[in-house]
Amino acid sequence: MENPGTPIHPLAAARYQSPLRYPGAKSGLGRHIKTLVDESCAVLGRPELLVEPFAGGASAALRLVGAGSVARVLLADADPLVAAFWETAAADTERLIDRMYGEPVTLERWEYWRRRPTEQLTREEAAVKCLFLNRTTFSGILHGRAGPIGGRTQSGHYRIDCRFNKESLAQRLRYVGRLYDEGHIADVWCKDWSATLHDVAEWYPMLLPDRVVAYLDPPYLAKSSRLYAVSFDPAGGYAASSQRDESRAWEEGLAHYRLAHHLRTACRFRWILSYDHDPVLTTNWLLYKAGRMTPEPEDRRLLGVRAWYISKRLVTLHYTASGAGKRRLSEELLLTTLPPCRVPADDVLRPLNSLE
């Protein structure tokens, strides 16, 4: 396959590239992911493909492909609204822009899109719903109990249209379309993380194991049921009662263990994982306490799964947490199977312990 060069576009190096806001989006994380990928190039060469199984706002993917750190990206998300948005933004850019310009940014329109069931929408309508609700709802939350910016009385300092600059959004949407037209966005999938990682290995065997990298930014360890309709579970859905909240939290907890098990034992290509730092992540053997991958002998023999080392780093970020209303410092955990000799260990990317 032809390797596209670095995109030439005014937004390729811009601070804000994604048309979507996303709950929990961490300012500055993209540059650390870029550092990890760029450093590994000295050993592995430039990755042909970066895969984001939890695409969301896709800010990291857009940052890396815009900088030329990777040749192309593949976006995947289990939320049908999010996947429909990226599919439409990439392949039907001008139609989406036309629909966006035709949308009155009002509380009545917010209520309209909130009531429309996603399963009854066309892909284009789902893309419009995603963009509209994302830009007009508190913290960009698409589902559940989050209300419109400014509240239903619209009496606050900020109003429902304060994050809906149509000219700026049109520029970002056209940038996405340009990336797709030039081959920098390889595809968009509506799949959960498990199907995505499996299918990438099936569709791109020529890139295994070192020329494809997965970047995974899963939902919060403790807050995902309040922020996302679909995270690990493709069925999605928000809890309707406190009892259901507890059940969903338990299921989400299991999902984090399933993801960890796959990454530690079965992933056939390199990966980078980011989490809001919680000590349990690196003290529990069922999560990421291990210092290297431990694939089953049969998987090593038949699938070529490697026993790569897992480097662990902490970075300090400024970000806006859902419900906080202000920016604050937070510790972010980065784990990766990129070559440990090329993973920086300094005051910015801090080793988790003194053994690294």
Closest CA to 259 of 12, 39, 78: 78
For position 240, what pLDDT does the model report?
Answer: 34
Complete domains list, the chain, with CATH:
26-86+177-351 (3.40.50)
pLDDT digits (tens, 9 = 90+) for 49-70: 999 999 999 999 999 999 999 9
Taking the chain (356 residues) in runs of 10, the rounded mean pLDDT of each run is: 79 93 72 97 97 96 96 97 98 98 98 96 98 94 89 90 97 98 98 97 97 94 49 40 45 83 97 94 95 96 95 85 60 96 96 66
Q: In the block, which residue shows the tokens 């284009």?
A: 124
Contact 65/73 with Cβ under 8 angstroms?
yes
For position 144, what pLDDT does the model report?
Answer: 78
**Which run of H or E residues covers position 302?**
helix 297-302
Q: Provide the residue type at 199 as one letter.
A: D
Query: Can you point out the beta strands (E) in 77-201?
Result: 185-189
Find the farthest-apart pair of alpha carbons in the chain and give their distance in angstroms, rounded. 64
Q: Is the peptide bond before 209 cis (omega within 30 degrees of 0)?
A: yes
Contact 274/337 with Cβ under 8 angstroms?
no
Q: In whole angstroms, what is the distance from residue 335 CA to residue 311 CA? A: 6
Q: In whole angstroms, what is the distance from residue 21 CA to residue 136 CA? A: 10
Local structure of 15: helix, strand or coil: coil
Contact 224/245 with Cβ under 8 angstroms?
no
Return the number of other C-beta atoms located less than 10 Å from residue 260's C-beta: 21
Q: In whole angstroms, what is the distance from residue 356 CA to residue 345 CA? A: 8
Return the number of other C-beta atoms located less than 10 Å from residue 131's C-beta: 25
For position 26, what pLDDT does the model report?
Answer: 61
pTM above 0.85, yes or no: yes
For position 242, what pLDDT does the model report?
Answer: 39
Residue 162 neighbours by CB under 8 Å, 6+ apart: 149, 150
3-class SS shares of the chain: helix, strand, coil, % to 5 = 40, 15, 45
